[in-house]
Amino acid sequence: MTDLIACLSSGEKSWAHVERLVKEEDWSNVFLITNDFGKKNFKTEKNVGFVVVDFKKPVFELIKDIKNGLNGKITDLEVALNLVSGSGKEHMAILSALLKLGVGVRLMAVTKDGIREL
């Protein structure tokens, strides 16, 4: 399977979606882009890697921090990406960082029929 990259922002309402995405698929690796609050409070049974950033930083600094946090850790030419949690600024920073790392993305979501590519 591929690596999963997901945004895990401060709005805990979307965390259940991210938890199901992590739990219901057999990912090679899971990397959650989050802040200190998310790393401390998000609980899952599976092993996940956290890329901890300060979402209050300007977008160009966020891109750099996310890129540095993921550099050398992605195991394939493409990743599964979920952006249900977070803001537009956070989403743009994650997508930009992934593109700068040279990986393709497949958007993934939890649906009533299970995990699906969009």
Q: Which residues pair with 105 in a beta bridge?
A: 79
Report the pLDDT averaged over residues 46-63. Answer: 98
Supply the pTM of this predicted model. 0.95
d(CA 43, CA 79): 22
In CATH, the number for domain 3-117 is 3.40.50.720
d(CA 12, CA 79): 24
| pLDDT for 11 beyond 80 | no
Q: Are 115 and 25 in contact (CB under 8 A)?
A: yes
Helix axes 59-70, 88-100, angle to 10 degrees: 50
Phi, psi of 33 (to 5 degrees): -90, 115
pLDDT band at 13 (very low <50, low <70, confident <90, very high): confident
34, 30, 73: which is closest to 53 by C-alpha? 34
Phi, psi of 25 (to 5 degrees): -135, 155
Q: Are 82 and 7 in contact (CB under 8 A)?
A: yes
Burial of 10 (0-12, 13-18, 19+ CB in 10 A): middle
pLDDT at 1: 83
